[in-house]
C-alpha cells in the first residue's frame, strides 16, 4: 500500500479535496460550522473495514480519497460487492441502529467521518441538508437499478466494457475538478481483479479473458493490470450496449437533476 497517501493528511475544510462536490457545499455557513464540529478526518488502509455488516451504525462519512466497497455476504460465505463509493460521495446507514452491509476500503482511504446521531441532529435543523441527502439517495437508487440491469441483461463482456467506461469517466471527472489535462483516455481501475469480479458478478478469469480480447480487437491497450488506454471509445460504448445516459448514471453524473429550483425554496 502506498503509505504516502495516508501521511500528513490535512484536516482543514478549506483544503478539502472534494469540497465542491460534498454535502458541505449545499449548506450555509452555520450548517457548515455545525458539520465541521462533529466531523474528523480518518484514514483506513486498503483492505481495512470501515463498518462491518450488522455492526452498530455509529458514524457516517464522506470519501475524500480512495474508494469504499459496499459488500453483502450470504450465509455460506459468498460475498458480493453491491456498490462502490467514490471521492466526494457520502455513505453510511442513517436513521437505523445497525448496518445492513459491510463497508470496506477497496483502496487506501481518507474519510471525513461524522458521528451519526450528531449528523442526524444537524439534518433536523437544516432541511436543505436533509434534502440533499435525499437527492443523493435517489441517485444511488437509480445507480443500483442501472446495475440490476447490468448484472442480468448484459453479458460478461458487456459488463467489463461498461466497467472500463465507468472508470474512465470517473477518472476524467476527478481530473476536471483538479484542472489537469494529462493522461486522458486512460481507464484506471482502483479495484483488484478479485474486486472487479465480485462487482461485475463474474470471475477473475473471465475478466482477464475479456480484457485481453478487447486489447486484441484494438479497442483498448493494456498498460498494466490496472491501467487501460481506451483507443476506440465509440466501439467500446457499442460493445457495452449502453446509452450515454446509462453511463452517466453509473459514473455518478446525474443526467438532469433539477434540484436548484426546489433548493432555492430553502434558502
- Which partner from the list a second copy, DNA, none does 212 bind, CB cut-off 5 to 8 Å by kind? DNA
Considering only residues 208, 232, 259, 263, which one is a binding residue for DNA as defined by CB under 7 A? Answer: 208
The answer to whether 220 contacts a second copy (rule: CB under 8 A) is: no
Please state the length of the chain: 267
Q: Which of 204, 227, 229, 254 binds DNA (CB under 7 A)?
A: 204
Q: Which does 226 bind (CB under 5 to 8 A by kind): a second copy, DNA, none?
A: DNA
When the beta carbons of 79 and 115 are compared against a second copy, the nearer one is 79
CA 252 to CA 51: how far, in whole Å?
23
Apex 192 CA angle, 187 and 194, nearest 5: 125
Tell me how crowded residue 47 is: count the other CB atoms within 10 A of its CB.
12
Interface segment toward DNA; rule CB under 7 A; list 122-130, 173-181, 193-201, 246-254: 193-201
Q: Which does 77 bind (CB under 5 to 8 A by kind): a second copy, DNA, none?
A: none
Instruction: Write down the least CB distance from residue 265 to a second copy, Å.
Output: 5
Main-chain phi, psi angles of 48, to 5 degrees:
-75, 160
Q: Report if residue 193 touches DNA, rule: CB under 7 A.
A: yes
* 207 and 200 Cβ atoms separated by less than 8 Å: yes
In the complex, the smallest distance separating the C-beta of residue 32 from DNA, rounded to whole angstroms, is 38
Q: C-beta of 184: minimal distance to a second copy in Å?
A: 26
From CA 57, how far away is CA 24, in angstroms rounded?
Answer: 21
d(CA 49, CA 101) in angstroms, rounded, equals 11
The mark string for 142-181 relative to DNA (x by CB under 7 A, - otherwise) is -------------xxx------------------------
Buried b (16+ CB within 10 A) or exposed e, 237-267: bebbbbeeebbbbbbbebeeeeeeeeeeeee
Q: Tell me: does residue 78 bind a second copy (CB under 8 A).
A: yes
Alpha helices in the chain (DSSP H): 3-6, 29-38, 116-125, 127-153, 156-177, 193-200, 204-216, 233-240, 244-250, 259-263
Under 8 Å between Cβ of 200 and 187: no
Nearest distance from residue 130's CB to a second copy, in Å? 7
45 forms part of the interface with DNA (CB under 7 A): no
Identify residues 223-252 at the interface with DNA (CB under 7 A). Answer: 224-226
Q: What is the distance between the alpha carbons of residues 195 and 126, in angstroms, rounded to a whole number?
A: 37
Contact 80, 71 (CB under 8 A): yes
| Candidate residues 17, 45, 83, 201; the one interacting with DNA per rule CB under 7 A | 201
Q: Is 53:105 a contact under the CB 8 Å cutoff?
A: no
Q: Which does 130 bind (CB under 5 to 8 A by kind): a second copy, DNA, none?
A: a second copy
Among 148, 184, 205, 218, binds a second copy (CB under 8 A): 148
Binding site for DNA (CB under 7 A): 1, 155-157, 192-194, 201-209, 211-212, 222, 224-226
Amino acid at each position: 500500500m502506498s503509505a504516502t497517501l495516508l501521511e500528513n493528511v490535512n484536516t482543514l475544510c478549506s483544503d478539502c479535496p472534494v469540497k465542491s462536490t460534498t454535502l458541505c457545499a449545499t449548506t450555509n455557513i452555520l450548517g457548515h460550522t455545525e458539520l465541521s464540529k462533529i466531523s474528523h478526518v480518518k484514514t483506513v488502509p486498503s483492505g481495512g473495514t470501515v463498518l462491518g455488516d450488522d455492526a452498530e451504525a455509529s458514524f457516517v462519512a464522506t470519501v475524500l480519497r480512495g474508494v469504499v466497497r459496499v459488500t453483502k455476504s450470504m450465509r455460506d460465505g459468498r460475498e458480493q460487492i453491491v456498490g462502490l463509493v467514490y471521492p466526494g460521495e457520502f455513505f453510511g446507514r442513517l436513521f437505523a441502529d445497525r448496518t445492513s452491509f459491510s463497508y470496506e476500503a477497496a483502496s487506501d482511504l481518507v474519510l471525513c467521518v461524522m458521528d451519526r446521531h450528531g449528523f442526524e441532529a444537524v439534518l433536523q435543523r437544516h432541511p436543505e441538508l436533509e434534502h440533499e441527502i435525499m437527492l443523493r439517495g435517489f441517485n444511488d437508487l437509480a445507480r443500483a437499478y442501472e446495475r440490476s440491469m447490468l448484472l442480468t441483461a448484459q453479458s460478461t463482456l458487456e459488463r467489463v466494457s461498461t466497467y472500463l467506461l465507468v472508470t474512465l469517466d470517473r477518472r476524467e471527472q476527478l481530473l476536471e475538478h483538479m484542472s489537469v489535462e494529462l493522461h486522458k483516455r486512460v481507464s484506471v481501475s482502483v479495484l483488484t481483479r478479485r474486486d472487479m469480479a465480485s462487482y461485475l458478478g463474474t470471475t477473475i478469469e473471465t475478466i482477464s479473458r475479456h480484457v485481453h480480447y478487447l486489447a486484441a480487437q484494438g479497442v483498448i491497450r493494456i498498460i498494466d493490470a490496472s491501467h487501460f488506454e481506451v483507443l476506440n471509445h465509440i466501439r467500446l460504448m457499442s460493445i457495452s450496449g449502453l446509452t450515454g445516459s446509462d453511463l452517466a448514471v453509473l459514473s455518478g453524473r446525474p443526467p438532469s437533476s433539477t434540484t436548484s429550483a426546489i433548493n432555492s425554496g430553502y434558502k
